[in-house]
Amino acid sequence: MTTPTETKTILEVYDPAMCCSTGVCGPDVDDALADFANDMKWLKTQGIEVKRYNLGQEPEQFKMCVPVLTRLQKEGSEVLPIILVNGEMVSEGGYPDRTTLIEWAGLIGSNGTVEERKPKADQAEIPLYNEKVNILVAIGSAVASGSDSILRDMFAKGKEAGISQDDMAKAMQSGLNVRQVPLSDIIETANELLGIPSNGCAPGSGCC
């Protein structure tokens, strides 16, 4: 008899530009934001992995998520917040209540009631951020910022730390994705001004 594998639910929130990571700050706190922040804390206690990104503080995350970037480019920041569950966009333009979040997280049992999940005492939390992750993040950032010296230094440190070349290549690709977004945007604008069909070619490059 095989035991079914429990799949972890990941909920990602792409917030508009706010003064802090949750928007619950300052003298006039928005009740909806405060309730949502509390709901996010509660979901974490139920084993749901919650990730929140602030447009004002973490614009790179928005550029790296294709569905979110597409909606922003088409409709502007009015579509925020955008919420994804396991990579699928489920909401935009507002913060849902706890009942809706419970449904998205799959916490409704077969009897129609909320299934509270209590963390097991013998399951220690495994830290995700370590030296190797730090090096990979630095490699991606070096590529995104165009820093040749930092990239060489971090690549050497990555080899010393035993990081595979494939993992470092993926980190570099993430940096390239971030770097290419503004470049492709300016190329498209330049072609539009010149009346040239936009196909990714730089004006005057001769590749068209």
Query: Hey, what domains does the chain have and what are their CATH numbers?
Result: 10-105 (3.40.30.10), 131-194 (no CATH)
Note the pLDDT of residue 194: 72
Evaluated on CA atoms 185, 55, 88, 52, the torsion sign reads positive
Note the pLDDT of residue 181: 63
Note the pLDDT of residue 207: 54
pLDDT one-digit tens code per residue, 27-75: 667 888 899 999 999 999 999 999 999 998 899 999 999 999 999 999 9
Q: Average pLDDT, whole number, for the chain?
A: 80
Which contiguous run of DSSP H or E holds residue 101?
A: helix 98-105
Q: Side-chain half-sphere of 116: how many Cα atoms within 13 Å?
A: 2
pLDDT one-digit tens code per residue, 125-140: 555 557 888 888 889 8
Show the tokens assigned to 172.
């570099």
CA-based nearest residue to 54, from 81, 28, 26, 76: 81
If one counts every other C-beta atom within 10 angstroms of the C-beta of residue 154, the result is 24
- pLDDT of 4 > 50? The answer is no
- What are phi and psi for residue 92, nearest 5 degrees? -150, 150
CA-based nearest residue to 135, from 108, 165, 107: 165
